[in-house]
Structure 1
Amino acid sequence: MELYQLQTFVKVALTGNLTDAALQLNISQPAASAHIKALEQITGFPLFYRNSKGMTLTERGTKLLEEAQQILFSIEEFYKKAQELRKDSAETIRIGLNTDGNLLQMDKMIRHMSERLPAVEPHFVNTRSEDFLQDVAALKINAGFYYGKVADSHIHSVKLHSCPMVVVYPNSWDVPDRELTLKDFAEKSWIWTTQGCPFHQQAMDYFLERDMVPKTIMYVDNETLIGNLVQQEMGCSLLAEPIAMQFVKENKLKVWKGIDLSVDLSFGYPKDRKRDPVMNEIVTLLQEIWKP
């Protein structure tokens, strides 16, 4: 006995017409008739009286109708439950994004995850590099991107890229025609990253090693906001080169690449998930995306 035979039996019983039942089931009338005949062979007795007005259930057919409806209902409930379980089985993973999605190549990451980890439901959360450890400990994120280094024995880190830093300054600034040096910017007003940011200490050490102390006008912890403030002539700043070049393409500011400074972009997660197949697959696809 096949499921489609029961479906046809119930539909014919409810409509009383083989043609109408076939239309509703989106099958041909001969196919519907064949389903009924096959079912009657299985049961060993007629299920319908056939006449010029249509088809009516026999007494035995009437007794089987409720059973058939109950079977179809149970199967429908089975499919619904399976769908719920499949939905519930999707693993949620929260990934922290510390900078612009274009720089992190999120379009590629999302595409690869949908292809290779279809049962994983990623949630992307805006975070800051300096808050990475805190966010992981608080379960705000399960893993994430961050700049600099994380000195914690419970975190496994994978370096993805070393981002060159550049000086960004307003288009309107009158800079010397000769080759620029860091001294040309040292006396300018600077928009500095917050003290917890990996940029901050690296950049400060870089200036101090050269006996320079930048004039700070404000602290900002958002790269896009820094770029916009530089465009508004509030000062100059340091940005990762990919971020800076986006502003350059839009003719919002200028860059000087003469500073020998870079910061590492890494992806990290708790070491107790190092054997987790989902986390391993995410790391593998990130390494493919960021390979030299």
Structure 2
Amino acid sequence: MEIYQLRTFVAVAQQGHLTQAAEILHLSQPAVTAQIKALEEETGVALFERTSAGVMLTEAGKLLLPEAEAILAGTRHLLHKAKSFKGQLGGKARVGTILTPTQLRLGPWLATLKQRYPLLQISTFQGISGSVLNEVRKKELDCGFYIGRNPYQNVHGLLLAELPYVVAAPAAWRESLEGCDWRTLGRQPWVGVSQFSSLSKLHSEIWRERNIAPKKVLDIDQEQTMVACVEAGVGLCLVRRDAAEAAAAQGSLWIWGDAAIDVPLTFIYPGERSDDPLVLVMIETLEAVWQKPLRGVD
């Protein structure tokens, strides 16, 4: 069964005459007759009865007409939708993600992308900041999210937010450390971060600025594990304020002092792709979701 046969069936039913239907369809009458005959043979039922005035639908034809009209309406809708895609951006985008979807506003962002660019195929890959940065640098990912200071000139970053980090300590250490200075903190065991983490340099810079050299008892590359180690009494650690406050509310750790170190959360992409339409629509939709223009990070 072909679409053009259904179109002919509907036209004959609406006109009630083979000749008039042929004129509308820009076909010869024998061609219209042949298409109706082929459709009747395929369906196994007679669709029309001849009358002195033309043709009229059989009972079977009356029942099948709405079905045929619905199919034709569906094909028109498909064609209109396809034509609306003309000139729209398509292709595949590989996005490196970190943290949680809520913190990155991933849901609203991906929804906005699909609404504005329905032909775009998006795949996300969850990782840690250091791995996302490295894969963007090597162009294994088209773009991604990153926490920390980007050391690569060939990777550009746009600031999304400043994330405050605080010193988290085991809850049992509060009595001995409350009101102490950084030098005292430097004599405590610390949960360090893996050299592959973007926060590794941050830890080193903070310790160097405070002139302390704490003993690292572990190297961890995932924040939830860091929090778990602090809760278990392993040592101190630099943790995002919101994660630390959530644990502190449960009484499982304690936040030392009120000093917070702000760390940039950025959207990163290969520098040579600054004019790439794919990257530009990523930035455009991020700005819509974050409700602000995104500026570069030095």
Residues 43 and 142 of structure 1: CA distance in aligned 2, closer, same or farther (over 3 Å): closer
SS in 2 for 1:114: helix
Q: Deviations over 1:155-204 (max 9, x none)?
A: 22212222221011223334248534334433322111112433222222
Amino acid at match of 2:20: Q
Residues 7 and 193 of structure 1: CA distance in aligned 2, closer, same or farther (over 3 Å): same
Residues 281 and 213 of structure 1: CA distance in aligned 2, closer, same or farther (over 3 Å): same
Match of 2:35 in 1: 64
1:81-120 alignment runs, 5 A limit: 90-120=90-120
SS in 2 for 1:261: strand
Match of 1:131 in 2: 131
- TM superposition score normalised by structure 1: 0.68
C-alpha distance in 1, partners of 2:230/2:157? 32
Q: Deviations over 1:223-246 (max 9, x none)?
A: 111112222222221112233334
Question: Unpaired runs of 5+ in structure 1?
Answer: 11-31, 45-58
Amino acid at match of 1:65: I
C-alpha distance in 2, partners of 1:121/1:249? 40
C-alpha distance in 2, partners of 1:177/1:146? 32
Q: Percent identity?
A: 22
SS in 2 for 1:140: coil
C-alpha distance in 1, partners of 2:258/2:17? 84
Residue 221 of structure 1 and its aligned partner are, at CA, apart by: 0.4
Is the Cα contact below 8 Å between 1:194 and 1:220 reproduced in 2? yes
Match of 1:56 in 2: none
C-alpha distance in 2, partners of 1:67/1:210? 88
C-alpha distance in 1, partners of 2:233/2:224? 15
Q: Is 1:238 matched up with 2:238?
A: yes
1:1-292 alignment runs, 5 A limit: 6-7=6-7, 9=9, 34-35=13-14, 37-39=16-18, 41-43=20-22, 63-65=34-36, 90-176=90-176, 179-288=179-288, 289=290, 291=292
C-alpha distance in 1, partners of 2:205/2:174? 27
C-alpha distance in 1, partners of 2:209/2:32? 95
C-alpha distance in 2, partners of 1:260/1:235? 18
SS in 1 for 2:103: coil
- TM superposition score normalised by structure 2: 0.67
Residues 42 and 98 of structure 1: CA distance in aligned 2, closer, same or farther (over 3 Å): closer
Is the Cα contact below 8 Å between 2:274 and 2:280 reproduced in 1? yes
C-alpha distance in 1, partners of 2:142/2:275? 14
C-alpha distance in 2, partners of 1:34/1:9? 6
C-alpha distance in 2, partners of 1:118/1:175? 57
SS in 2 for 1:198: coil
Q: How many residues align?
A: 248
Is the Cα contact below 8 Å between 2:8 and 2:21 reproduced in 1? no
Moved more, 213-222 or 176-185: 176-185
Q: Deviations over 1:46-98 (max 9, x none)?
A: xxxxxxxxxxxxx997633366699x9xx999969x98xx8xx8422111113
C-alpha distance in 1, partners of 2:132/2:177? 42
Moved over 4 A (4+): 59-62, 66-70, 75-80
Is the Cα contact below 8 Å between 1:5 and 1:39 reproduced in 2? no
Is the Cα contact below 8 Å between 2:220 and 2:226 reproduced in 1? yes
SS in 2 for 1:118: coil
Is the Cα contact below 8 Å between 1:8 and 1:35 reproduced in 2? no
Is the Cα contact below 8 Å between 2:96 and 2:143 reproduced in 1? yes
Amino acid at match of 2:236: C
